[in-house]
């Protein structure tokens, strides 16, 4: 039985409880002090960029700092970052941003720490690399380069041998000095290939590889979208389509479980191999150790991928986060990462250091990766990116997948251009 | 004569009317405080509704009138009027998404409800370990969509998937379940059916148990077999429940997102390379998160809201007519 006063009190208590519950979710963040006391720094990544050993080493050198890694897949990671930037809360202290995405965030450069003001030694990277994470007037730098994706071709020596192709890297490299020759070599391979084996994994990856050798792909240097008019894009498209028609593609979608299975079962003999792909293969198809080798990429040079470490200004521990980002991307750590994960450092001066230059990769038949990737990068053009670059690239990738599934290439091409136009809207 | 469908318990006239009287005595003399008390007690719902539903709804409406795109500096405050809606009507991808949503919805809801009805009928009979089995059908419902998607992605894998392996045993060619309308719709629908059938079955089962057993006894005496009893007693008695599940699963399928999103191995919310199973919500998600088109995605969200309102209204009219026929 509720009396009047009791009823009112109960109602009040109920409302208060609800209010507390509702606000409780919002204020659950850590109450640690800004500078003094222990600090937990979060690092948002979308793959293997840093190692736990590296974090522990940093913690040991900086008492009171704890590092926690937050991981999501590529798409989710970048979407979450955007959500956190828009809402003004929730971002990690250090956020990695992929090269195809970084220019999408340059439009919101005020939401990131400007590394121009933090005293980072930018001379350790090439100007072109730094420019990719800088605003067009060069006044703000929002990300520090981590790794870079110099291109090569990874191939299965066992499958090459069965198909009667040469297996030594020099001879294999000589097989395809250009991407046209690469597609041609695919035909030769298919003629004598073991059952269930094709030339490469996915047309989209071949397309990325071909474009990795171009300075201008979807944007021109003044920032206009030229994806539909750029002959280089159309040329790459046509070549990829030609390869699909010749039956060279395993038609797998990259980074899927089926793609991993493809690596494990040797469904394809070659794969376009940015430096970071080595680690991916090693992790996802460990039993193929020793069956791989690495040849020079057609065209001799190219880049696909790489990341930047950014520090969103919404973070509570900006100073410590900047310090951490600076440390994680410094040359010494880049070499450690390279030795453990295979991600190739962006820092130019590391390329001549013995740890990098003399490196060989046992998993890939002792391929001299320390010379392969610098060679590929030295001649690689400075690529132009724009805000929608990632979306445009996805649109072309999807369109090529439809071609693999039987859609008329002309239709797929015009569909891709429509998607590109829509993305800009 | 069949009696009219049993009314929901809340409407059914309470057994002994006098029983409530003592409870009333304490609350009699409704002075100021007790007038406010019930409002205060229901207020948490309305507060939550205002904060989590009404405000987002209104704000989405406002954003849909802007050209906000995260990748364009300063686009946040550009007012474009109904431009987004005009664009939406002419957007083939939006129509494609709507078609996929309805297609997958039909393909999943119809078999799902029929199956649920059948399972409920089985569970209503005499079974050993009845409670265990009844709870068991709910297990898919409490399993997370993500793990369901991982399993079904494996099952429906093109090259080494068990489904294609079985098809191969039967002499059929392997099917690429991730492309083409029918294969991909089927695969996504199977996931939805797997998840929701048990839930609907339990709702049916609950309603079935409210059917007076005398009806079945009378029918049995008149010589009606199991099937006739099901058709002429169970189904008519379940009519309100069936209408309820149809409405709920219609709304559910209009909002289908998790299954198609996770079934796409590339995770780019494209719903297949050619948008074969990109549902409407998935399209909104893609435009919002991946393409950063906040304004346009908000317009899409409002369009979906209006579509659902229309569908619910149509459902209600149909339901009323069906009930009226009785």
Nearest to A59 by CA among A30, A45, A38: A38
* Total CB pairs under 8 A between chain A and B: 127
pLDDT band at B14 (very low <50, low <70, confident <90, very high): very low
Cα separation, A305 vs A211, in Å, equals 12
The pLDDT tens digits for B197-210 are 999 999 999 999 99
Residues A219 and A320 in one domain: no
Q: Which residue has the higher pLDDT, A129 or A69?
A: A69
The pLDDT tens digits for B105-130 are 999 999 999 999 999 988 888 778 88
B-chain CB neighbours of A423 within 8 Å are 291
pLDDT exceeds 70 at position A25:
no
pLDDT exceeds 60 at position A147:
yes
The crossing angle, in degrees rounded to 10, of helices B145-155 and B162-169 is 30
A9 located within any domain: no
Q: Does the distance separating the beta carbons of B157 and A257 come in below 8 Å?
A: yes
Q: Which residue has the tokens 């020793």?
A: A290
Residues A273 and A311 in one domain: no
Nearest to A340 by CA among A56, A73, A43, A44: A56
B-chain CB neighbours of A75 within 8 Å are 267-269, 290
Q: Kindly state the tokens that stand for B11.
A: 């409407």
Cα separation, A394 vs A391, in Å, equals 5
Q: Are A253 and A336 in contact (CB under 8 A)?
A: no
The mean per-residue pLDDT over the stretch A247-262 comes to 92
Chain A within 8 Å of B291 (Cβ-Cβ)?
yes
A108 located within any domain: yes
Q: Which residue has the tokens 């202290």?
A: A93
What ipTM does this complex have?
0.81
A21 located within any domain: no
Residues A371 and A416 in one domain: yes
Residues A200 and A288 in one domain: yes
Q: In the prediction, which pLDDT does A328 show?
A: 96
A50 located within any domain: yes
pLDDT exceeds 70 at position B19:
no
Cα separation, B64 vs B236, in Å, equals 45
For residue A96, report the phi and psi dihedrals to the nearest 5 degrees: -85, 140
Residue B44's CB is within 10 A of a number of other CB atoms, namely 16
Strands A143-156 and A292-296: antiparallel
Cα separation, A318 vs A312, in Å, equals 8
Q: Does the distance separating the beta carbons of A11 and B41 come in below 8 Å?
A: yes
Cα separation, B47 vs A55, in Å, equals 44
Cα separation, A111 vs A92, in Å, equals 13
A339 located within any domain: yes
Query: Domain limits of chain B?
Result: 88-145+176-325
Q: Which residue has the higher pLDDT, B15 or B147?
A: B147
Q: Are B96 and B225 in contact (CB under 8 A)?
A: no
Neighbouring-strand partners of residue A331:
none
Cα separation, A211 vs A219, in Å, equals 12
* Residue B25: exposure state from Cβ atoms within 10 A (0-12, 13-18, ≥19): exposed
pLDDT exceeds 70 at position B13:
no
B-chain CB neighbours of A398 within 8 Å are 266, 268, 270, 273-274
The pLDDT tens digits for B216-231 are 999 999 998 888 988 8
Residues A134 and A246 in one domain: no
Contacts with A367 (C-beta within 8 Å, 6 or more apart), sequence order = A169, A292, A293, A294, A360, A361
pLDDT exceeds 70 at position A22:
no
Q: Does the distance separating the beta carbons of B31 and A4 come in below 8 Å?
A: yes
Cα separation, B38 vs A7, in Å, equals 9
CA–CA distances in Å: residue A22 to residues A14, A25, B38, B85:
12, 6, 20, 34
Q: In the prediction, which pLDDT does A8 show?
A: 55
Cα separation, B107 vs A294, in Å, equals 48
Q: Does the distance separating the beta carbons of B51 and A387 come in below 8 Å?
A: no
Cα separation, A319 vs B230, in Å, equals 72
A10 located within any domain: no
A-chain CB neighbours of B36 within 8 Å are 7-8, 11
Q: Cα dihedral angle (B28, B31, B33, B34), rounded to 10 degrees? A: 30
Residues A331 and A390 in one domain: no
Count of positions (residues) in chain A: 425
The mean per-residue pLDDT over the stretch A393-407 comes to 94
A-chain CB neighbours of B69 within 8 Å are 425
Contacts with A55 (C-beta within 8 Å, 6 or more apart), sequence order = A43, A67, A69
Nearest to A399 by CA among A272, A256, A237: A237
Q: In the prediction, which pLDDT does B131 show?
A: 84
Q: Does the distance separating the beta carbons of A422 and B266 come in below 8 Å?
A: no
B-chain CB neighbours of A402 within 8 Å are 179, 273-274
Task: Output the CA torsion sign for A399, A403, A409, A415.
Answer: negative
A13 located within any domain: no
Q: Does the distance separating the beta carbons of B179 and A402 come in below 8 Å?
A: yes
Q: Minimum mean pLDDT among A15-24, A277-286, B198-207, B238-247: which range?
A: A15-24
The pLDDT tens digits for A410-425 are 999 999 999 999 887 6
Using alpha carbons only, give the angle A35, A39, A45 rounded to the nearest 5 degrees.
125
Cα separation, A285 vs A299, in Å, equals 28
Least Cα separation, residue B110 to chain A (angstroms): 30
Q: Are A315 and A91 in contact (CB under 8 A)?
A: yes
Residues A231 and A169 in one domain: yes
Residues A335 and A387 in one domain: no
> How many alpha carbons fall within 13 Å on the CB side of residue B207?
27
Residues A115 and A230 in one domain: no
Chain A within 8 Å of B37 (Cβ-Cβ)?
yes
Cα separation, B263 vs B158, in Å, equals 13
The pLDDT tens digits for A318-363 are 999 999 999 999 999 999 999 888 899 999 889 989 989 999 999 9
Among B159, B178, B296, whose Cβ lies nearest the Cβ of A425? B296
* Residue A382: exposure state from Cβ atoms within 10 A (0-12, 13-18, ≥19): middle
A361 located within any domain: no
Question: Domain count of chain A?
Answer: 2
Among B70, B93, B268, whose Cβ lies nearest the Cβ of A86? B70
Selecting from 3.90.1150.10, 3.40.50.2000, 2.60.40.10, 1.10.3720.10, what CATH number does the domain B88-145+176-325 have? 1.10.3720.10
B-chain CB neighbours of A253 within 8 Å are 178, 265-266, 273
The pLDDT tens digits for A186-208 are 999 999 999 999 999 999 999 99
Residues A155 and A143 in one domain: no
Q: Does the distance separating the beta carbons of B273 and A75 come in below 8 Å?
A: no
Q: Does the distance separating the beta carbons of B270 and A398 come in below 8 Å?
A: yes
The pLDDT tens digits for A277-289 are 999 999 999 999 9
CATH number at residue A379: 3.40.190.10
Residues A383 and A289 in one domain: yes
Classify A10 as helix, strand or coil: helix
pLDDT exceeds 90 at position B52:
yes
Q: Which helix (H) or strand (E) holds B128?
A: none
Q: Kindly state the tokens that stand for B5.
A: 């469908």
For residue A39, report the phi and psi dihedrals to the nearest 5 degrees: -130, 135
Extended beta strands in A311-406, E state: 344-345
Cα separation, A216 vs A211, in Å, equals 9
**Residue A375 structural domain:** 149-304+367-423
Residues A136 and A173 in one domain: no
Q: Does the distance separating the beta carbons of A401 and B289 come in below 8 Å?
A: no
Cα separation, B111 vs A224, in Å, equals 50
């Amino acid at each position: 039985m509720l009396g009047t006063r009791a009823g009112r009190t109960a109602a009040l208590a109920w409302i208060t409880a609800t209010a507390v519950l509702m606000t409780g979710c919002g204020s659950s963040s850590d109450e640690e002090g800004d500078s003094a006391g222990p600090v937990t720094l979060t690092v948002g990544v979308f793959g293997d960029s840093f190692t736990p050993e590296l974090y522990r080493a940093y913690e040991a050198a900086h008492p009171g700092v704890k590092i926690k890694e937050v991981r999501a897949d590529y798409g989710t990671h970048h979407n979450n970052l955007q959500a956190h930037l828009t809402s003004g809360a929730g971002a990690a202290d250090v956020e990695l941003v992929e090269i195809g995405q970084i220019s999408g965030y340059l439009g919101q450069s005020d939401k990131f720490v400007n590394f121009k003001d933090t005293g980072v030694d930018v001379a350790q990277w090439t100007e072109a690399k730094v420019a990719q994470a800088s605003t067009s007037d060069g006044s703000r730098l929002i990300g520090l380069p981590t790794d870079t994706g110099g291109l090569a071709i990874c191939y299965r020596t066992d499958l090459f041998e069965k198909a009667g192709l040469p297996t030594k890297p020099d001879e294999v490299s000589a097989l395809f000095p250009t991407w046209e020759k690469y597609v041609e070599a695919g035909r030769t391979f298919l003629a004598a290939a073991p059952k269930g084996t094709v030339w490469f994994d996915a047309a989209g990856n071949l397309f990325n590889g071909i474009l990795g050798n171009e300075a201008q792909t979807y944007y021109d240097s003044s920032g206009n979208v030229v994806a539909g008019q750029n002959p280089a894009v159309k040329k790459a498209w046509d070549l990829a389509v030609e390869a699909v028609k010749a039956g060279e593609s395993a038609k797998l979608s990259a980074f899927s479980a089926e793609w991993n299975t493809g690596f494990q079962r040797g469904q394809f003999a070659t794969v376009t191999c940015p430096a970071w792909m080595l680690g991916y293969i090693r992790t996802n198809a460990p039993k193929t150790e020793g069956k791989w080798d690495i040849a020079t990429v057609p065209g001799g040079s190219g880049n696909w991928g790489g990341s930047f470490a950014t520090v969103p200004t919404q973070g509570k521990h900006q100073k410590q986060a900047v310090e951490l980002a600076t440390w994680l991307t410094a040359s010494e750590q880049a070499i450690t990462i390279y030795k453990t994960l295979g991600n190739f450092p962006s820092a130019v001066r590391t390329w001549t250091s013995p740890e990098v230059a003399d490196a060989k990769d046992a998993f890939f038949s002792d391929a001299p990766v320390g010379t392969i990737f610098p060679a590929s990068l030295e001649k690689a053009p400075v690529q132009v990116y724009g805000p929608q670059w990632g979306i445009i690239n996805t649109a072309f990738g999807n369109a090529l997948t439809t071609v693999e599934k039987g859609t008329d290439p002309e239709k797929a091409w015009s569909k891709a251009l429509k998607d590109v136009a829509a993305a800009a809207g | 004569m069949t009696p009219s469908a049993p009314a929901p318990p809340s409407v059914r006239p309470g057994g002994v009317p006098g029983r409530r009287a003592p409870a009333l005595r304490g609350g009699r003399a409704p002075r100021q405080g007790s007038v406010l008390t019930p409002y205060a007690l229901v207020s948490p719902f309305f507060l939550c509704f205002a904060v989590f539903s009404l405000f987002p709804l209104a704000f989405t409406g406002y954003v849909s009138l802007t050209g906000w795109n995260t990748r364009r500096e300063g686009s946040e405050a550009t007012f474009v009027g109904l431009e987004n809606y005009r664009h939406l009507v002419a957007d083939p991808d939006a129509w494609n998404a709507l078609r996929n949503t309805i297609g997958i919805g039909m393909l999943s809801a119809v078999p799902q409800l029929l199956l649920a009805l059948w399972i409920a009928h089985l569970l209503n009979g005499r079974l050993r370990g009845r409670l265990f089995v009844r709870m068991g059908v709910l297990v898919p419902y409490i399993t997370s969509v993500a793990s369901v998607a991982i399993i079904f992605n494996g099952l429906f894998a093109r090259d080494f998937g068990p489904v294609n392996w079985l098809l191969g045993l039967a002499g059929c060619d392997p099917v690429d379940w991730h492309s083409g309308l029918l294969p991909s719709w089927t695969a996504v629908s199977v996931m939805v059916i797997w998840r929701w059938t048990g839930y609907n079955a339990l709702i049916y089962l609950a309603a079935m148990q409210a059917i007076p057993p005398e009806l079945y006894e009378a029918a049995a005496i008149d010589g009606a077999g199991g099937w006739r009893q099901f058709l002429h007693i169970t189904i008519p008695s379940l009519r309100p429940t069936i209408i309820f599940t149809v409405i709920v699963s219609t709304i559910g399928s209009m909002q289908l997102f998790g299954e198609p999103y996770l079934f796409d191995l590339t995770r780019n919310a494209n719903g297949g390379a050619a948008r074969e199973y990109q549902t409407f919500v998935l399209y909104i998600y893609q435009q919002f998160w991946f393409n950063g088109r906040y304004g346009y995605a908000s317009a899409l969200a409002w369009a979906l809201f209006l579509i659902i309102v229309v569908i619910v209204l149509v459902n209600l009219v149909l339901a009323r007519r069906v009930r009226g026929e009785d």
